[in-house]
């Protein structure tokens, strides 16, 4: 059984920004356990690579946002990681759900998630996406451009009204990488506040009897560590609400400020604290609404990575250790097919030996994947024991978000399984993709 904790116990919303789940503990003889289950046992039972999700960590993190914002709507961003179990967990914790496609939507509803607590968004919704949303009765559809307005209205059945939000761009630059900065002008999402397109879309929406515009939506980006961008967004959106009231005589009951909250991938990385967010951002919203004499809208936030990311640990087995060109490369049995984020965004991860103890001195190595790309690097310049050998299990924390959801079958390597751990038990949530699965999709001659 586990004995000593990896780090002192802490609440999951602590500003110390831990990279491991709260349940992570050393086990006798070396190695690491999460959720009371030794990670070496998980690797043996389910094979590697494998994603391990700590159910209790997910639930605690969902509760942290609910506690910090009791009057708000907390919508889990399903694009981070979605499975039937995850849907059940967030449903039971009282969260809403944010989805981006008919696929995510259908999984959620068929898993028992209430459609009225679902928000569908996306800059290029297909007709199938929209039809599924209307058929299943989603609570909100986020309008991303003026061209969507008439198309959506035409699909709403006569006598019905669909509640919608309008995604606007407040002109705020935020996010850890240029590819994920979505709150500034000149990118594909939303309609500009400064350019006037947002106000034009509001006028069009208010003229559609089958659409009920209930508020504005914005999303600034991803892995945002500071709260300044959210405060700036509030200061730009509330004046827009004031202009809409003056021009059209309407006030909106809802304001969705999106997510993008940073987590720690390595020790010392900054992360967002929900309580501090509540104090600063909702405080600024109250001040701005009071300044313009507007009623306070109900706030929606969309944490995805913040809830799922630190709850996940990816496990790999070492295949080879090679020194060449003045560097040491540790090759593992996964790579960019199960974690494309280092190649896409230059993300740096923590890596540790998880299956045994070692008294060998540490040395700097580069952990690389098995794929035919020089850029298939999982972690550069990390310290691992000098006696690392093939068969060892390595653990990569903060792997619960944007890993499986962005995974591919590059080189026809199947996507890994997902196992949940809680209370000393492990169970399979998503099975491994097999060669037979990959062959079954190839139907041509």
CATH number of the domain residue 160 falls in: 3.20.20.10
48 and 63 share one domain: no
Residues 236 and 278 in one domain: yes
What share of the chain has pLDDT > 90, as a percent? 83
Whether 67 and 33 share a structural domain: no
Beta strands 377-385; 362-368: pairing state: antiparallel
Cα separation, 262 vs 369, in Å, equals 26
Band (pLDDT 50/70/90 cuts) for residue 9 is very low
- What end-to-end distance do the CA atoms of the chain give, in Å? 54
Q: What are phi and psi of 212, to 5 degrees?
A: -115, 105
174 has a pLDDT exceeding 70: no
Say if residues 16 and 270 touch (Cβ distance below 8 Å). no
Residue of 107 and 18 predicted with greater confidence: 107
Range of the domain at 289: 55-305
**Once rounded to an integer, what is the mean pLDDT over residues 258-269?**
93
CB 416 within 8 A of CB 406: no
Are residues 343 and 278 both part of a single domain? no
Residue ranges in 335-422 assigned as alpha helix (H): 341-345
Whether 280 and 231 have beta carbons less than 8 Å apart is answered as: yes
Collapsing DSSP to helix, strand or coil, 393 comes out as: strand
Number of domain units in the chain: 2
- Residue after which a domain boundary falls, among 283, 305, 327: 305
Instruction: Return the beta strands (E) in 246-371 as ranges.
Output: 254-256, 298-301, 312-324, 327-332, 352-353, 362-368
Residues 322, 232 within the same domain: no
In this prediction, residue 30 carries a pLDDT of: 83
Given a cut of 90, whether residue 3 has pLDDT beyond it is no
Residue 4 placed within a domain: no
* Whether residue 299 has pLDDT greater than 80: yes
Examine the pLDDT at 132 and tell me if it is beyond 80: yes
pLDDT for 7: 40
Taking residue 320's Cβ as centre, other Cβ atoms within 10 Å add up to: 12
Mean pLDDT, all residues of the chain: 91
* pLDDT range class, residue 223, cuts 50, 70, 90: confident
Pairwise CA distance, residues 263 & 272, whole Å: 7
The closest of 377, 385, 433 to 409, measured between CA atoms, is 433
For residue 320, what is the domain's CATH number? 2.40.37.10
How far is 315 from 39, CA to CA, in rounded Å?
8
For residue 314, tell me if it sits in a domain. Answer: yes
Q: Assess if residue 10 is contained within a domain.
A: no
372 a catalytic residue: yes
The mean pLDDT of 111-139, rounded to a whole number, is 95
Does residue 277 sit in the same domain as residue 323?
A: no
DSSP structural state of residue 295: P
**Per-residue confidence (pLDDT) for residue 156, from 0 to 100:** 96
Q: What is residue 14's predicted lDDT score, i.e. its pLDDT?
A: 34
**Within-domain flag for 393:** yes
Predicted local confidence at residue 184, as pLDDT: 54
Q: Is residue 189 over pLDDT 70?
A: yes
Q: 162 lies in a domain?
A: yes
Residue 396 scores a pLDDT above 50:
yes
17 within a domain of the structure (yes/no): no
Report which of 272, 296, 231, 264 is spatially closest to residue 68, judged by C-alpha positions: 272
CA–CA distance, 282 with 276 (Å, rounded to integer): 10
Q: Does the pLDDT of residue 15 top 50, yes or no?
A: no
On whether both 189 and 175 belong to a single domain, the answer is yes
For residues 115 and 94, the answer to whether their CB atoms sit within 8 Å is no
Quick one: 301 exposed, middle or buried, by C-beta within 10 A (0-12, 13-18, 19+)?
buried
Sheet bearing 25-26, strands edge to edge: 25-26, 32-34, 37-38
- Whether residue 213 is found in the same domain as residue 143: yes
User: Distance from CA of residue 186 to its chain's centroid?
Assistant: 23
Check whether residue 162 and residue 201 sit in a common domain: yes
Could you say which of 305, 334, 363 is where a domain stops?
A: 305
What's the rounded mean pLDDT across residues 365-370? 96
Examine the domain organization and report whether 132 and 105 are in the same domain: yes
> Is 385 in a helix, a strand, or coil?
strand
For residue 114, the SS3 value is coil
- Residue 5: pLDDT band by 50, 70, 90 thresholds? very low
Q: For position 187, what pLDDT does the model report?
A: 61
- pLDDT exceeds cutoff 90 at 2: no
Helix (H) or strand (E) holding 440: helix 435-440
Q: Is the pLDDT of residue 196 over 50?
A: yes
Q: Which residue in the list 100, 218, 289, 372 is annotated as catalytic?
A: 372
Distance CA 184, CA 57 (A): 33
Per-residue model confidence (pLDDT) at position 204: 95
Domain finish residue from 256, 282, 305 = 305
Instruction: For residue 175, report the phi and psi dihedrals to the nearest 5 degrees.
Output: 130, 155
Q: What is the mean pLDDT of residues 132-146?
A: 96
Task: Using the Cα atoms of residue 66, residue 69, residue 73 and residue 79 in order, give the sign of their dihedral.
Answer: negative
Task: Please tell me what DSSP assigns to residue 46.
Answer: H
Q: Quick one: average pLDDT of 239-262? A: 95
Q: Between 244 and 123, whose confidence is greater? A: 244
- What DSSP line would sit under 65-113, residue for residue? HHHH-TTSEEEEETTS---HHHHHHHHHTT-EEEE-SHHHHHHHHHTT-
Assigned domain for 7 exists: no
Is cis: bond before 243, omega within 30 of 0? no
| Alpha-carbon span 340 to 56, nearest angstrom | 26
Cα angle, residue 263 at apex, residues 358 and 31 outer, rounded to 5°? 15
Mean pLDDT of 61-72: 97
Model-level pTM? 0.92
| pLDDT value at 435 more than 60 | yes
The answer on 82 and 175 residing in a single domain is yes
Cα–Cα distance measured from residue 163 to residue 142, given in angstroms and rounded to the nearest whole number: 9
Residue 15 lies in a domain: no
- Render pLDDT for 378-391 as a digit per residue (tens, 0 to 9): 999 999 999 999 99
CB atoms within 10 A of CB 138: 24
Same domain flag for 281 and 400 = no
Q: What tokens appear for 16 in the block?
A: 């110390």
Confidence of residue 62 (pLDDT cuts 50, 70, 90): very high
């Amino acid at each position: 059984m586990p004995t000593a904790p990896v780090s002192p116990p802490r609440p999951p919303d602590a500003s110390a920004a831990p990279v491991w789940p709260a349940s992570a503990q050393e086990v006798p003889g070396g190695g690491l356990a999460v959720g009371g289950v030794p990670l070496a046992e998980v690797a043996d039972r389910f094979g590697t690579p494998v994603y391990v999700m700590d159910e209790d960590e997910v639930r605690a993190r969902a509760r942290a946002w609910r506690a910090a914002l009791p009057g708000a709507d907390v919508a889990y961003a399903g694009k981070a990681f979605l499975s039937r179990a995850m849907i059940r967990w967030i449903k039971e914790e009282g969260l809403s759900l944010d989805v981006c496609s008919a696929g995510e939507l259908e999984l959620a509803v068929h898993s028992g998630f209430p459609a009225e607590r679902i928000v569908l968004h996306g800059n290029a919704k297909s007709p199938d996406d929209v039809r599924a949303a209307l058929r299943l009765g989603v609570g909100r559809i986020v309008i991303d451009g003026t061209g969507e307005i008439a198309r959506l209205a035409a699909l709403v059945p006569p006598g019905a009204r669909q509640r919608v939000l309008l995604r606007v761009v407040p002109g705020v630059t935020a996010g850890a990488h240029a590819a994920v900065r979505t709150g500034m002008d000149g990118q594909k999402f939303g309609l500009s506040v400064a350019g006037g397109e947002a106000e034009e879309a509001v006028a069009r929406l208010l003229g559609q009897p089958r659409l009920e515009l209930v508020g504005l939506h914005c999303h600034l980006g991803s892995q945002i560590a500071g709260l300044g961008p959210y405060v700036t967004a509030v200061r730009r959106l509330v004046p827009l609400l004031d202009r809409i009231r003056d021009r059209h005589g309407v006030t909106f009951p809802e304001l969705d400020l999106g997510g993008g909250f940073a987590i720690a991938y390595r020790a010392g990385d900054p992360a967002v604290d929900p309580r501090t967010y509540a104090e600063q951002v909702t405080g600024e919203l109250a001040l701005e609404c009071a300044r313009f004499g507007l009623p306070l809208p109900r706030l929606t936030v969309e944490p995805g990575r913040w809830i799922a990311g630190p709850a996940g640990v990816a496990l790999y087995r070492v295949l080879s250790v090679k020194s060449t060109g003045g560097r040491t490369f540790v090759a593992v049995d996964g790579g960019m097919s199960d974690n494309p984020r280092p190649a896409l965004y230059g993300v740096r991860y923590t890596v540790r030996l998880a299956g045994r103890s070692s008294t060998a001195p540490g040395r700097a190595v580069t952990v690389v994947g098995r794929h035919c790309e020089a850029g298939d690097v999982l972690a550069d310049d990390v310290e691992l024991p000098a006696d690392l050998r093939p068969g060892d299990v390595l653990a990569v924390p903060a792997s619960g978000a944007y890993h499986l959801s962005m995974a591919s079958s590059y080189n026809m390597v199947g996507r890994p399984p997902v196992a949940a751990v809680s209370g000393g038990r492990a169970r399979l949530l998503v099975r491994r993709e097999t060669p037979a699965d990959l062959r079954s999709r190839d139907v041509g001659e």
